Chains A and B, each alone.
Chain A
Amino acid sequence: MVEKVADFLAEGEADYEYMMVESEHSAMAAALGVSMMGARAFTATSSQGLMYMAEMLNYTSGGRHPVVMVNANRALAIPWNIYGDHSDAMAMRDCGWIMLFAESGQEALDMVIQAYKIAEDKDVMLPVMVNVDGFTLTHTYDVVDIPEQELVDAYLPSFDTANKMCLEHPKTLCHSVGPDYYTEAKIAQQEAFEVAKAKIVACDEEFEAMFGRGYGGLIEEYCCDDAEYALVAMGGTVGTVRDVVDELRAAGEKVGLIKIRGFRPFPEEYFQSVKSKFKAMGVIDRSLCFGVGGTVFGEVKSALYGSEMGLKGFVLGLGGRDISVDMIKEMFAELKECPAGEYSDQPIFVGRRW
């Protein structure tokens, strides 16, 4: 992706500074430094690269510097595997970054633009990680609408912040504190995430009004109005589930899809609002929280505390293994057999070979 970003510069279509650095850790350190000077910063990474920048992710979020990064979601070693899943992003889920997941190339483009507007909002000031599924999205082609620059300029104002190095108004940035200040700094971050929930929705609605494309903010329900069984998914898998829902709906089955677009902040209020809406809900995870189960499943189960719905946590698509239409149908079939109030305490591995 950054190769294409560099192409724009080489071809004279862009005028940003391009810093080639020696590692992902340095890439994020540089982005942080840029943002500390009050400038707009971008970087991108994937998989082990995200792990390597881990230290700087918390510096950036704790310092409240609104860097935007695209992460091409890929598996983590070992076994070393360059293919797609959500292990990398999920390992960094508590690093203080807003985390959004794109379903398509179009959404990836739009999400980057929205991400800056969310991140740089004066009431938010948090970095945003735009997650794009490795290979199934990053390396597959689709028709994409590229908005006009003038329209994007009208949507996204230039970055202006007081949280920067300034000789006229000197201040300390990214500083150390003792126990008497640390807690309040973390509370301030938590409060910003609560504010971000509404801002993500508002930025998406404004985007839709201007560009004609909206994505639902944190959550999108698909065919859920009268659904009895629903699958929760994130990223590129959503498109496949959407197709299966269409097929099963045509056959008269009351199934639906819940797309999580914003994983951090987590749309807890949404899940609390649908505690008794479905007979059963399944969660598709493309990562494992070892010793617990599916990472997203754990969050959904927590948000649904007290629900009488059946709840199942499916884990599949690890290390790039294909998520097929038949697998999704299999999960819907399992949900139909799930008694009310029952939930899976162990991850259900779909498509395992042995």
Chain B
Amino acid sequence: MGKRAFLSANEAAAYGVKLAKPDVVSAYPITHKPLWWKRLRISWQKAKQIMNI
């Protein structure tokens, strides 16, 4: 049984990509933020939860 989510077609297609398990994704995303920025943002969100701020 899968799960249901409210997604744009962009996000839905991205889920398709994740499920297809490519070895490599190559991309030139105009609006992209670097991976280190995304990881920093996630770390910051987790830190805020831990510190309750």
List A residues at the B interface (Cβ < 8 Å). 1-11, 13-14, 16-24, 26-28, 30-31, 34, 39-45, 49, 68, 70, 72, 102, 104-106, 108-113, 116, 130, 132-133, 137-149, 151-153, 156, 158-159
Q: How far is the CA of A130 from the CA of B13 in the complex (A)?
A: 9
CA distance A147 to B7 in the complex (A): 14
Q: What residue in chain B is nearest A30 (Cβ atoms)? A: B26
| List of 6 A-B pairs having minimum Cβ-Cβ separation, nearest first | A112-B16, A4-B14, A10-B38, A30-B26, A105-B12, A39-B23
Pair A149/B19 contact, Cβ less than 8 Å: yes
Q: Which of B4, B9, B15, B39 has the most CB of A within 10 A?
A: B9
CB distance from B21 to the nearest CB of A (A): 7
Q: A2-B27, A17-B25, A39-B23 are in contact. Are A8 and B14 (CB under 8 A)?
A: yes
Asked if B13 and A70 make an inter-chain contact with CB atoms under 8 angstroms apart, the answer reads yes
B residues with a Cβ closer than 8 A to A are 1-29, 31-35, 38-39, 42
How many contacts between A and B, using CB within 8 angstroms? Answer: 197
The answer to whether B24 and A16 have CB atoms under 8 Å apart is yes
Tell whether, in the assembled complex, residue A143 and residue B6 are in contact, meaning their CB atoms are under 8 Å apart: yes
In the complex, what distance in Å separates the CA atom of A145 from the CA atom of B19? 13
For this complex, 9 residue pairs linking A to B, each with C-beta atoms less than 8 Å apart, are A1-B10, A1-B11, A2-B14, A2-B25, A8-B18, A10-B38, A43-B25, A43-B27, A130-B13
Q: When chains A and B are docked, how far (Å) is the Cα of A5 from the Cα of B28?
A: 12
> Which residues of the other chain, B, contact A39 by a CB distance below 8 angstroms?
22-24
